[in-house]
Amino acid sequence: MAEQIEEESFAIDIDQMELPPAVAEYGNVHLRPVDSNRRLKQLFWLEFELSRFAMGWAPCFPDWDIKGELMRLAYLHTIHMKALKERIGELAGGGINERARSPVSFREGFQSLSLAPGLAEFAFAYRALVQALLEAYRKLEFEMDPILDAPSLDIFRLIEMDSRTHLEWPERFIRFAYSEQPTLNQRYTSWTLYTNQVILTMQRHAEDKAVKWPTPLAIEAIGPVPAVAAPDVRFPLHDPKIHGEANLLRDSSSPLNDSVKQMIYINATEMTSAESMAYLYYGVQNMPMDFYIDVARHTWDEVRHSQMGVRRLKQLGFQTEHFLWAGTQALTSDNLPTIFPEFYATLTMVAEPCSFFKKRKSIDAFWKFGDALSAVQSEFDISDERMHVDFGQKWGAKLFEHMEDFETAKSVQEKVRAQRLRNVGVQETEIEQLLKNFPSLCGFTTKELVYDQY
Q: Which is nearer to Fe ion, 14 or 308 (CB)?
A: 308
What residues form DSSP beta bridges with 237? 325
Q: Which is nearer to Fe ion, 42 or 276 (CB)?
A: 276
Applying CB under 5 A, the span of 8-16, 29-37, 269-277, 284-292 interacting with Fe ion comes to 269-277
Best CA proximity match to 232, nearest among 55, 115, 59, 53: 59
Per-residue mark of binding to Fe ion, 352-391 (x: CB under 5 A):
x--------------------------------x--x---
Using CB under 5 A, pick the residue from 49, 270, 275, 371 that binds Fe ion: 270
**CA-to-CA distance for 271 and 323, rounded, in angstroms?**
14
DSSP character string of 269-320: TTHHHHHHHHHHHHH--S--HHHHHHHHHHHHHHHHHHHHHHHHHHHTT--G
Applying CB under 5 A, the span of 141-149, 347-355, 414-422, 424-432 interacting with Fe ion comes to 347-355
Per-residue mark of binding to Fe ion, 13-42 (x: CB under 5 A):
------------------------------
Q: Which is nearer to Fe ion, 342 or 385 (CB)?
A: 385
Tell me how far, at minimum, the Cβ of 328 lies from Fe ion, in Å: 15
Which residues fall within 8 angstroms of residue 407, CB to CB, at 6 or more apart? 397
What residues form DSSP beta bridges with 325? 237
Identify residues 175-234 at the interface with Fe ion (CB under 5 A): none
Per-residue mark of binding to Fe ion, 388-427 (x: CB under 5 A):
x---------------------------------------
Applying CB under 5 A, the span of 242-250, 304-312, 328-336, 360-368 interacting with Fe ion comes to 304-312
Write a three-state SS string for 73-132: HHHHHHHHHHHHHHHHHHCCCCCCCCCCCCCHHHHHHHHHHHCCCCHHHHHHHHHHHHHH
Q: Which is nearer to Fe ion, 232 or 385 (CB)?
A: 385
Using CB under 5 A, pick the residue from 127, 305, 358, 415 that binds Fe ion: 305
**CA-to-CA distance for 183 and 188, rounded, in angstroms?**
9
Tell me how far, at minimum, the Cβ of 47 lies from Fe ion, in Å: 24
Q: Is the peptide bond before 224 cis (omega within 30 degrees of 0)?
A: yes
**CA-to-CA distance for 296 and 274, rounded, in angstroms?**
10
Tell me how far, at minimum, the Cβ of 352 lies from Fe ion, in Å: 5
Asked if residue 52 lies in contact with residue 110, where contact means CB atoms within 8 angstroms, the answer is yes
Q: Which is nearer to Fe ion, 149 or 270 (CB)?
A: 270
Q: Name the CA radius of gyration of the chain, rounded.
A: 24
Q: Which is nearer to Fe ion, 103 or 309 (CB)?
A: 309
Would you say the C-alpha torsion 167, 169, 175, 177 has a positive or negative sign? negative
Q: Which is nearer to Fe ion, 127 or 388 (CB)?
A: 388
The site for Fe ion (CB under 5 A) is made up of 270, 302, 305, 352, 385, 388
